[in-house]
Amino acid sequence: MDWKLELVVVPVADVDRAKAFYLEQTGFRLDVDHRAGEDFRVVQLTPPGSACSIALMRRPDAAGSLSGLHLVVRDIDTARSELVDRGVKPSEIFHFEEGGVQTPGPDPERRDYASFLSFSDPDNNEWLVQEVGRAGATA
């Protein structure tokens, strides 16, 4: 039995503001923007290359409560540059040393799953970007 994660709900205070952020600043693709009345709206977006999407849900009481979502990229340096160019304020790249100590810079050996950066959306939902597959990357 396959169990596929296909949608994660992201609670936001302002759906239009969040939609603009994810479209314009992270480069996510808009899949659905559907309204059914004054109080019901579904906005679904997908990160480039991902099989899993996000749905923006207006929940001011829970906005900013999401943390730890991981986006996986082949080249974290390029990913960071793209975010900066789009107006996102990502953290510097970091890795973890022995004992779980967060250390500036990418993993010295550029091992899979070992180099990270983080950023937040306008509601302070927190994302991690993780480098995987760099060793097999072609220039």
Per residue in 33-43, pLDDT (tens digit) is 999 988 889 99
Same domain, residue pair 88 and 127: yes
Per residue in 46-84, pLDDT (tens digit) is 999 999 999 999 999 999 999 999 999 999 999 999 999
Per-residue confidence band for 139, with pLDDT thresholds at 50, 70 and 90: very low
Report yes or no on 117 lying in a domain.
yes
Write out the H or E segment, with its range, that includes residue 20.
helix 15-20
Report yes or no on 2 lying in a domain.
no
The rounded distance, in Å, linking the Cα atoms of 78 and 93 is: 11
Neighbour count for residue 125 (Cβ, 10 Å)? 23
**How many domains, in total, are found in the chain?**
2
Domain ranges, residue 45: 7-58
The rounded distance, in Å, linking the Cα atoms of 56 and 58 is: 7
Q: Is a pLDDT exceeding 80 seen at residue 136?
A: no
